[in-house]
Chains A and B, each alone.
Chain A
């Protein structure tokens, strides 16, 4: 009896020790990589896991990394908090993934940041949505994110378009108000300028009262991030043809461009090289991958290809076994990667907050289509 008890304890101890080193997924089997994506629900990015898979397929076809194949496991959280936390735990504990690459969820960062820190695993999201994606020790997205983008949009309005009266009409997601204030302060610190009107109460409903107020305040440039159709239809009715409207990256879609009346000046700040022009630096590779795999051409799929590429490059530099520990170390100590699809180099680094990508490239609507503007990436304080 005593002996059997000892053996049970020994087996249990061995099992615990194995799970404590979780994430190794062996040293000769496939390298498991996870992601949490919004496939159903309100925030849908089905093209993202497909594009990440396409990059990993390419690597596998060429022999993998040190002879090991990449196995990608994407979980749909449907923007449901419970599903998102369950997905993270499942990927880390059951699937034993070495890292999360190409996540695109509206709730993942906020809910799972502590899980990633506790498990010493890094996440390289294709699309960082909320503020926590850019202020967590173990998360570093490949997009500038909504707040760095706001600074770039303000900078573009005041410094490139030379507009004196810059206004902001924004709808704010819960918890992102602080990020917006920081972004505005950053612009003020660089340029010494301040907003003429800041209204963060735009929501659904008739936009006319806001537009009338903006007209009365003499706004020359307006940053805007809410519904496109009604806003621009009513702006045209109100005769606001001399105002420069600058939208966030969420509005940069073909469907939205088709909604802008011809006489309105509408711009959008993009997070990567504008996806509507495949000849731009970095876009050639992305367009080859998405076209070959029949994946929808969107900005999000650019983030997916970039996240996967950056991951593969860091992985190739690891000497010795590829485990969760070695991957995390490699990202925390990586050298910056110059990726032509974005404005600044990508680096993860050791800090407690990561927002390596800055700057934005601007597009303007012309005859219902997006036209890329010639200035290149606008990085606040550097152009």
Chain B
């Protein structure tokens, strides 16, 4: 059993990274971005298509990240320009529509899971150490370190710097922020571009472990949202823990025969219970704080 849980832990870091990207978008621009993983996948596939066409890995990486950032910026521009006055539900619905469009286009351009499976670079796949029967690759340490860096770094940025303060103001009350002189649209666009670039990097890290085709990578948004829910779309450390928890649960579910066939569902059920437990003291009709 321990082996399976440790094996599950190896994917916990990448789940945490995905969840952190969702939480970051929500905290900084107040949008639940359903198109996030698909946007990152476009960037990642741009990179891998360029390397397959013979381009060196570094320029391909830069161009791929730029493509992801540009696409995310475009989505951000749509939301900032046409939907800034709308509530969160409308903005989320817009991203769902973009997600559906991106998945359809991506599947057509980059192929399905047999014709479109790509050989993503695996720079961190050498073994780091072995626990029991499980070989833990360097990628696990890299993704965990990256996740901790985002958690701590963004936490510090938001709480200790002027830019962080402005970003928080932008997310909480965009109109008010603009009135007090914060260049809200420009700042929001910068956030969208940065998150597009970050998501592309994250998708590139998770691709060799979780899937090499467009539909699988774009579909990772479901996992990302589940992890973000553990952190209530707010807490970065809880999101980090949620990702690791989800990975371990998956490992355990693969080991325990009675639930084996429902492996994909078990973690989500546990998260549901967790959310129910957390909201047990809330009173009906109370406005939830973000």
Residues in A lying within 8 Å of B, measured CB to CB: 42, 44, 199-201, 203-206, 208-213, 215-216, 227-230, 233-234, 236-239, 250-251, 253, 255-256, 258-259
Contacts and interface: CB of A to CB of B under 8 A. Distances in A.
Nearest to A203: B264
Contact of A237 (B116, B137, B207): B137
A226 to B, nearest CB: 9
A60 B219 CA distance: 46
27 contacts: A42-B112, A203-B263, A203-B264, A204-B211, A205-B263, A206-B7, A206-B250, A208-B134, A209-B251, A210-B254, A211-B7, A212-B6, A215-B133, A227-B216, A230-B210, A233-B122, A234-B209, A237-B135, A239-B135, A253-B117, A255-B114, A255-B116, A255-B117, A255-B118, A256-B114, A259-B119, A259-B212
Given A201-B261, A201-B263, A205-B250, A229 B135 contact: no
B125 interface: yes
Interface in B97-121: 107, 111-120
B112 A213 contact: no
A213 B4 CA distance: 7
Contacts, number: 119
- Interface size bucket, B side? 35 or more
A199 B260 contact: yes
Contacts of A206: 7-8, 10-11, 14, 209-210, 247, 250
A212 B134 contact: yes
Interface of B: 3-4, 6-8, 10-11, 14, 107, 111-120, 122, 125-127, 133-135, 137, 207-213, 215-216, 219, 223, 247, 250-251, 254-255, 260-264
Contacts of B114: 228, 250-251, 253, 255-256
Contacts of B210: 204-206, 230
B261 A233 contact: no
Contacts of B133: 212, 215-216
A33 B250 CA distance: 49
Contacts of A44: 112, 115
A233 B208 contact: yes
Given A253-B114, A256-B114, 6 more contacts: A204-B216, A208-B251, A212-B7, A237-B137, A251-B114, A255-B111
Contacts of A259: 117-119, 212
B87 to A, nearest CB: 33
Given A215-B133, A216-B133, A230-B208, A209 B254 contact: yes
A233 B260 contact: no
A208 B253 CA distance: 12
Given A210-B254, A212-B7, A237-B137, A205 B212 contact: no
Given A200-B261, A237-B137, A258-B119, A209 B212 contact: no
A208 B115 contact: no
Contacts of A233: 122, 125, 208-209
B135 A238 contact: yes
Closest 6 CB pairs of A and B: A229-B212, A206-B11, A209-B254, A209-B7, A212-B7, A208-B7
Q: Which one of A206, A212, A238 has the highest number of Cβ atoms from chain B below 10 Å of its Cβ?
A: A206
A74 to B, nearest CB: 19
A79 to B, nearest CB: 11
A246 B10 CA distance: 25
Contacts of A210: 254
Nearest to A209: B254
Nearest to B220: A204
Nearest to A199: B260
